[in-house]
A and B are shown apart, each in its own frame.
Chain A
Amino acid sequence: MNLTVYRLAKHLGAKMGSIGLFFALLPSLAMAKYEYNMEPPVSATGLSAYHLHNWMTMVCLVIFVVVFAVLGYSLYAHRKSVGHKAASFHENTLVELAWTIVPFLILIVIAVPATKALIAMKDTSEPDITIKVTGYQWKWGYDYLKGDGEGIKFISTLSTPQAQINGQEPKGENYLLEVDNPIVVPVNKKIRILTTANDVIHSWAMPAFAIKQDAVPGFIRDTAFRVEKEGTYRGQCSELCGKDHGFMPIVVEVVSDEKYAAWVEDQKKKMAAAAGDPNKVWTLDESKAYGEKVYATNCVACHQANGKGIPGAFKALDGSPIATGPKAEHISRVLNGKAGTAMAAFGKQLSDADIAAVITYERNSWSNKTGEVIQPSEIKAAR
């Protein structure tokens, strides 16, 4: 379809939602804000898919109106109550051929731009930066594999406080769409995303880029985007991945080249600092305090803050044989996970210091009082 049609569709498509205005008239809800259509995407490929959608919706609407206008006339004019008598015709080969062939031709007209839009969308070649995205239950891991920022890696989790979710605090503006560590990319650069997952299938989705790519454990998939506008963009996991599927958002900050360079610098410093001294010997209090933080980001969703887990679904740590028994087994369970359950192998996600601290925390919290301090060196040895 040519550009004029697209431009027309762009204007008309937004009006589609006016049908919904009917509902906006309900008194108590009249003042609320309503979104009737997609936000126009900020990438060229996304924009062409967006216009395709608006145009198709218009085509469908026109056909719908025409067919139901004919039906509407018939319902009005051919009523028994106005004395209309039934005709007896019941077939007409010409008419039937026409309404088989015409829709087929309309479909061909739709298929042409649909094919073009898809081919553009699927082009992931020659990226400037390649980032591996790993889905975890229930957070995202980012790994800058190639291009500026190579070597940066971090985990990104929901930063909305539990109190907001439970209604004990007012909900913030970006409720459920905010994370501790957003992924940062430069504007106007082609970013290739490789997706995979650690446990179950997740899906990395960013509506503003018209991107959605499943992350399948054991396999690598890819998708790409080139964003033309700086800003903060928000999306969510889009494949049911267990109980906290609704709580693993995606935030992408698209920044200028200068800001990106500064961010890369900053991240590298942070990573160097976090690595710390591998031979440091931790005290019980130090280790437990740090472990509590690690627990809060990685373990609390299943095992709960009180260590009781969720009966029938997630095991309790409080008083459990592993968290109070020999520490070698505890280390091995955290490093390697347990097959066939939601217990992931955290050895692949967390540093020695993180794992040591969280095990110390688990062995010395609630009613667990082993008094043992696990050192990072022990984790390193057990890997």
Chain B
Amino acid sequence: MAYANSGEYIKHHLTNLVYGQHPDGSWGIAHGADEIKEMGFWSINVDSMFFSIVLGVFFLWIFRRAAKKASTDVPTGLQNFVEWIIEFIDDSVRGSFSGKNPLIAPLALTIFVWIFLMNFMDLLAVDHIPGLAGLLGVPYLKIVPSTDPNVTFALALSVFILVLYYSIKMKGPGGFFAELAFHPFPKFMMPINLLLEGVTLIAKPISLALRLFGNMYAGEMIFILIALMYSGGWVLGIFGGFLQLGWAIFHILIITLQAFIFMTLTIVYLDMASQTDH
């Protein structure tokens, strides 16, 4: 695909493949940011959905295979790897979550591996898969689902709903309200307490979602900017190659760290929600 200028190149790489209803009533793929805006809420980012589901299914397939073969014999290869991750997650959960809840560990495992895999798509060269898809007639393709705020907010809101659910379940509605209303100041300053605690509560999912989204979006942006250098001649291209390698190596740390932070904070938030003695 040819681009009029670098601005268009960047914009193109940051646009999702959106399917929705056009203003004239027909359903189809949106071409450009204006059409996406016109489609409103009831449209869907096909690329985010596709890659996140493919990666999630890949994750579950690998782990399901290991779970089927799980035995008390000496583990080999894949099983060893899977057990290593499981034990790592289990340690994290045991370290941060004080109660007993069969949901937490599988939730943490899913969050960690799924987000890691979605982030990992960032390490694939920015032009290869979208370019290939372009040849097949797909106008836009963002292959890193975690650079889509819809994805990160969906995760964070799910976690937030769990936080609310367990807060009310463990503390009771009154206890949960008391926690929001009677801290950190005495009871007569209830409105201020509610405001402060309310902001703290709301900040949890928003910070979760924005942290992941921001890191991945910025990382992707830098990859795109580096990729722009390849069109700037030999010298700039080779320099860009080194830059991309360096950034990719550094990014391995970031994608793992972001997945880990998301998981750990989820565990911590749910632990706080589950604690009854406050």
Q: Do A and B come from one complex?
A: no
